[in-house]
Amino acid sequence: RLEGGKMNEKTKEDLVEVIQVAGKEQLFYRSMPIQVALIRGTKVDEYGNMTLEKEGVYLETLHIAQAAKNSGGIVIAQAEQVVKHGSLNVREIEIPGMLVDYIVKAEQEDHKMNAGVQYEPSYTGEAVIPVEQIKPMKMSPRKIISKRCAMELERNTIINLGIGMPEGVAAVALEEGISDWTTMTIEAGSVGGVPGSGTNLGGATNVEVIIGHPN
């Protein structure tokens, strides 16, 4: 209302404005043109149909592609394998080929699951590992804060963890046995399991469900 989303004096154009709709004040955000969308997956066929089975999180992959096409932009899909059309299980296809304009087959070193690992099967449901293999969080002021936060967790609750300090709560909850009676989730789309931290944040060890970020 006061500054229109502008950060400083050099920013001239309002990003948001207050308008009247049916007699009520609403915030109006103008749409932004999208020229190019870059998405990634596991396998893509010759028509652009793409699967995400080795992705630890789905994020907004489908929605980004839809938004780009709706804006008249192009969609570039990167995958680790390019396969023949008709060879993919249709139930595993998350991105329909009609949304994809260009296909890029990535080299292994350019297609890491995240900044921390090349590929971790426990982040995709391909494997379930003993939780004892997860390294405990080192003692630090950060861990002390996380332990205090974990004391507020109640039985049979759903916990949504954000980036930064909250990620330590998952590690502490595992150490204290609290994760056995709560469900940890990450906004990126992983549900259940033990959420990762640092460069592995977003995925979860022994994840139970993976949904899209907007869901």
Number of structural domains the chain divides into: 2
pLDDT of residue 43: 98
Is residue 14 included in any domain, yes or no? Answer: no
Judgement on whether residues 169 and 89 belong to the same structural domain of the protein: no
pTM of the predicted protein model: 0.83
Is residue 76 included in any domain, yes or no? Answer: yes
What are the distances in angstroms from CA 195 to CA 28, 31, 82, 100, 166? 35, 33, 30, 31, 11
Is residue 21 included in any domain, yes or no? Answer: no
Judgement on whether residues 139 and 106 belong to the same structural domain of the protein: no
pLDDT tens, residue by residue, 192-214? 999 888 888 888 999 999 999 88
More confident residue, 198 or 144: 144
pLDDT of residue 165: 83
Which of 51, 79, 110 represents a domain boundary (last residue)?
110
What would the mean pLDDT of 73-98 be, rounded to a whole number? Answer: 97
Which of 52, 79, 110 represents a domain boundary (last residue)?
110
38 phi, psi to nearest 5 deg:
-110, 120
Dist. CA 199–CA 186, nearest whole Å: 14
What CATH number does residue 202 fall under? Answer: 3.40.1080.10
By three-state DSSP, how is residue 167 classified?
helix
The residue segments making up the domain with residue 158 are 121-210
pLDDT of residue 210: 94
Dist. CA 71–CA 28, nearest whole Å: 18
pLDDT above 90 (res 16): no
Tell me the pLDDT band of 9, cut-offs 50, 70 and 90: confident
Judgement on whether residues 196 and 138 belong to the same structural domain of the protein: yes
Judgement on whether residues 51 and 81 belong to the same structural domain of the protein: yes
Whether the Cβ atoms of residue 97 and residue 45 lie closer than 8 Å to each other: yes
Which active-site residues does the annotation give?
187
pLDDT tens, residue by residue, 91-135? 999 999 999 999 999 999 999 998 888 999 999 999 999 988 988
Which of 110, 134, 150 represents a domain boundary (last residue)?
110
Q: Tokens standing for 167?
A: 């990620």
